Amino acid sequence: MGGEKFGSFGRATPPARQAISTDDAIALLKSGTAKPNSLIGYGNGRSYGDSCQNDAGAVVDMRPLNRIRAFNAETGVIEADAGVLLCDIIAHAAPYGFFPAVVPGTQFVTLGGAIANDVHGKNHETAGTFGCHVLRIGLARSSGEPLTLSREENAELFAATIGGLGLTGVILWAEVKLAAITSAYLDTETIALEVIGPDADAEVARLERPGP
Ligand SMILES: Cc1cc2nc3c(=O)[nH]c(=O)nc-3n(C[C@H](O)[C@H](O)[C@H](O)COP(=O)(O)OP(=O)(O)OC[C@H]3O[C@@H](n4cnc5c(N)ncnc54)[C@H](O)[C@@H]3O)c2cc1C
């Protein structure tokens, strides 16, 4: 399989020609016959550039791997397959009062893609990147044996996998700490800009007129 289904958002490069399932990818990795550069994870293709493409081999279609494995409604810790979309995590956790601590400008990205690109949100200055909230990662590497990565276990590989663009292996699952939703309302501050220029008074009068 391959083709349009495996393009990237920016359409900068032709879509991947070849795609395989995670089961086939793991079998290939375990057989020891996978060639260097032959496989790369493909989340939901929401990358602007070509990072989810692989001219030299195949992409691994993560989307069928889409199970939420565990969720603690007390702590907000969720464990899910890498192909789960952020919108599905939100649908699952929001009724319990939890939300991903960091979300990009689209909710249609996979958990694996959010980790591999270490995505940022509009709250970057306070929450950091998505990777700051990842607790554990399950990773399949060329040895075929899945590894568990965390800040304590395989710590260097954990750090390299967050923002690693899929180059350290295929992320199979991850455990993430969600943020508690403190309120359904937003705190907002409106700051008026100074109107300058020859028609400033008329412009201020226009802006102050009640709207329709
Ligand atoms: C409308 C829009 C708004 C956006 N806004 C933001 C934003 O505000 N902030 C931001 O940071 N980004 C933003 N992005 C970019 C987007 O969040 C990232 O490109 C994200 O990584 C895409 O996730 P994906 O699941 O589609 O992954 P893909 O695009 O399929 O892949 C992205 C990278 O992750 C790797 N990968 C995917 N899954 C796996 C896996 N299971 N194991 C290993 N590697 C894997 C791929 O090889 C590739 O390198 C936006 C994109 C769009 C289209």
Cα(10) to ligand 1 centroid in Å equals: 12
| Closest-lying ligand 1 atom to the alpha carbon of residue 59 | 47
In angstroms, what is the span from residue 118 Cα to ligand 1's centroid? Answer: 8
Instruction: Specify the 3-state DSSP secondary structure of 201.
Output: helix
For 29, the enclosing helix (H) or strand (E) is: helix 22-31
| Beta-carbon-side half-sphere exposure of residue 102 (alpha carbons within 13 Å) | 22
**Within 6 Å (CB) of ligand 1, which residues are found?**
9, 40-47, 51-52, 62, 82, 104-106, 109-110, 112-114, 116-117, 119-120, 165-166, 170-171
The whole-number pLDDT of residue 136 equals 98
| Protein residue with its CA nearest to atom 7 in ligand 1 | 104
Q: pTM for this one?
A: 0.90
**What CA–CA distances, in Å, run from 134 to 13, 192, 202?**
30, 39, 53
DSSP label at residue 206: H
Spell out the per-residue pLDDT of the chain, length 212, in tens.
555 688 899 888 888 888 999 999 988 888 888 887 789 999 999 999 989 998 888 999 999 999 999 999 999 999 999 999 999 999 999 999 999 999 999 999 999 999 999 999 999 999 999 999 999 999 998 877 789 999 999 999 999 999 999 999 999 999 999 999 998 888 899 988 888 888 999 988 988 888 76
> Are 80 and 90 spatial neighbours (Cβ–Cβ below 8 Å)?
no
Ligand 1 centre and the CA of 43: distance in Å?
Answer: 7
- How far is residue 53's CA from residue 142's CA, in Å, rounded to a whole number? 18
The CA distance from 143 to 180, in Å, is 38
Distance 211 CA to ligand 1 centre (A): 41
Q: How far is the CA of 117 from the centre of ligand 1 (A)?
A: 6
Pairing type for strands 39-42 and 58-61 reads parallel
Please report where in the chains the tokens 């996998």 appear, as a residue. Answer: 161
Sequence-distant (≥ 6) Cβ neighbours of residue 65 within 8 angstroms: 22, 81, 82, 83, 84, 172, 173
Q: Which atom of ligand 1 is nearest to the CA of 111?
A: 25
Q: Whose CA is nearest to atom 19 of ligand 1?
A: 47
Written as six digits, the tokens of 209 are 């007129």
